[in-house]
Amino acid sequence: MSLLLQRWEELADIKRVLAKRDWFPGTSGNLAIKVSDKPISFLVTASGKDKTKETNEDFLLVDGQGQPVDDTHLKPSAETLLHVEIFNKTNAGCSLHVHTVDNNVISELYGDQGQITFKGQEIIKAYGLWEENAEFTIPIIYNHAHIPTLATEFSEFVKKDAGAVLIRNHGITAWGRDALEAKKYLEASEFLFSYHLKLLSLKALTYNK
């Protein structure tokens, strides 16, 4: 199996799993996986596709600037420039971007603070943090409609080979050195968002009794 086909299958498997969780509403979200380092190239989801379906046009190969490598009628996902920043600045091998209700609500609740920090949760070990009372902070940036501007601000928080950034009322981008690590970062983040919102709701109910 060629490396390109292998990476395609890896990305298709992640898309399949995340689609079953309804993390791609209204064709939103996008996924990317690196194919080569020199020069940089990566597979990215094609724009406007129903990600609950599987076809031979789900992904296309783009270069280090996010431009299609081959002649194609397919258009790279709108947020391809975010993946460009990740692959050009780090040794990440996979980058995942999804829109969920939970991550949108969290981004609105804590958007003015510019970040949200989680502490003392067992799931934090998914980020490679094993010490007691470890903390993990996820930055929250403004949702610039102009994607190059969004990518520039996003890039300020791309400093490690694995990480996560929330875009206010837009979605989360999580990345890792390979597909498994990127998926772990994404799943852990969504778990923490859901837990936090449920905890806030319970506290509000208790307070109002």
To the nearest whole number, what is the mean pLDDT of the chain? 95
Confidence band for 206, pLDDT divided at 50, 70 and 90: confident
What pairing do the DSSP bridges indicate for beta strands 59-63 and 94-98?
unpaired
| Residue scoring higher pLDDT (127 or 204) | 127
Q: What is the pLDDT of residue 209?
A: 59
| Single pTM value for the model | 0.94
Report d(CA 46, CA 30) in Å as an integer.
Answer: 8
* Tens of pLDDT, residues 70-101: 999 999 998 999 999 999 999 999 999 999 99
CATH class name, domain 3-208: alpha beta
Please check the confidence at residue 194 and state whether its pLDDT lies above 80: yes
Cβ neighbours of residue 164 closer than 8 Å, sequence gap 6 or more: 138, 172, 173, 174, 175, 185, 186, 189
Tokens of 144: 């610039």
Percent of the chain with pLDDT over 70: 98
* Tens of pLDDT, residues 161-190: 999 999 999 999 999 999 999 999 999 999
Please check the confidence at residue 207 and state whether its pLDDT lies above 90: no
Enter the DSSP assignment of 73: S
- One-letter amino acid at 104 equals N
Q: What is the pLDDT of residue 33?
A: 98
φ and ψ of 54, to 5 deg? -125, 120
Q: What is the pLDDT of residue 208?
A: 64
- CB burial class (10 A; 0-12, 13-18, 19+) of residue 19? middle
Q: How many degrees, rounded to 5, is the angle at CA 92 between CA 78 and CA 141?
A: 50
* Tens of pLDDT, residues 42-73: 999 999 999 999 999 999 999 999 999 999 99
